[in-house]
């Protein structure tokens, strides 16, 4: 990562001007607001790289960073966040669970519909069930967050 960071610094636009006009600092807010939804700070590890790349290549790269941050969070941090933040009275059997910051449970306020498995602990919309053989089989569990205990028939 350090080599990539050095490369990003050396290829920054001369004079601080970005490809679409403006300055490098102008890309902080769009990158920060797009990377922050993971709620763990995990996506913000990519803030400097996002700022430089968007400055160099334009706003279209924001979508790339958003997809990358979501995938990295899902693969490396969602399970740990679920273990830390989900509060079950009894550990679910036959299904896994993880933290999904984009989850919408039936009791979520705001636009959009609900997502299957969200609000699993009854306290946090972001706590999501996954895996098993039943209703949540098509929801991929990250890492080792797969089902524990006997599987549903």
Residue 21 DSSP SS3:
coil
pLDDT digit string (tens) for 17-42?
787 777 888 888 888 877 765 555 66
**pLDDT of 80 strictly over 50:** yes
Please report the pLDDT score of residue 66 as a whole number: 78
Residue count of the chain, please give it.
153
Q: Name all contacts of 23-26 with Cβ < 8 Å and 24+ positions apart.
A: 23/55, 24/51, 24/52, 24/55, 25/51, 26/55
Do the bridges between strand 127-130 and strand 96-99 make them parallel or antiparallel, or are there none, so unpaired?
A: antiparallel
**In the block, residue with structure tokens 């036959």:** 94
More confident residue, 117 or 24: 117
Distance CA 53, CA 70 (A): 18
Answer whether 47's CB lies under 8 Å from 24's CB: no
Please report the pLDDT score of residue 42 as a whole number: 65
Answer whether 119's CB lies under 8 Å from 103's CB: yes
pLDDT digit string (tens) for 41-50?
666 677 888 8
Helix ranges (DSSP H) in the chain: 2-10, 28-35, 47-57, 61-76, 78-85
More confident residue, 74 or 117: 117
**pLDDT of 63 strictly over 60:** yes
Q: pTM of the prediction?
A: 0.60
**In the block, residue with structure tokens 């999501």:** 128
Q: Which whole number is the average pLDDT over 98-117?
A: 75
Residue 17 DSSP SS3:
strand
């Amino acid at each position: 990562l350090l080599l990539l960071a050095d490369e990003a610094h050396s290829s920054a636009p001369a004079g601080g001007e970005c490809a679409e006009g403006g300055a490098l600092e102008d890309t902080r807010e769009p990158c920060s607001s797009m990377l922050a939804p993971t709620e763990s700070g995990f996506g913000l590890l990519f803030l400097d790289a996002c700022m430089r790349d968007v400055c160099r290549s334009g706003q279209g790269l924001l979508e790339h960073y958003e997809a990358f941050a979501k995938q990295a969070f899902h693969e490396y941090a969602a399970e740990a966040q679920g273990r830390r933040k989900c509060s079950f009275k009894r550990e679910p059997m036959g299904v896994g669970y993880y933290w999904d910051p984009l989850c919408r449970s039936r009791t979520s306020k705001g636009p959009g519909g609900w997502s299957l498995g969200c609000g699993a602990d009854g306290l946090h919309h972001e706590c999501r069930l996954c895996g098993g053989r039943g209703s949540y089989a098509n929801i991929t569990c990250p890492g080792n967050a797969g089902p524990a205990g006997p599987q549903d028939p």
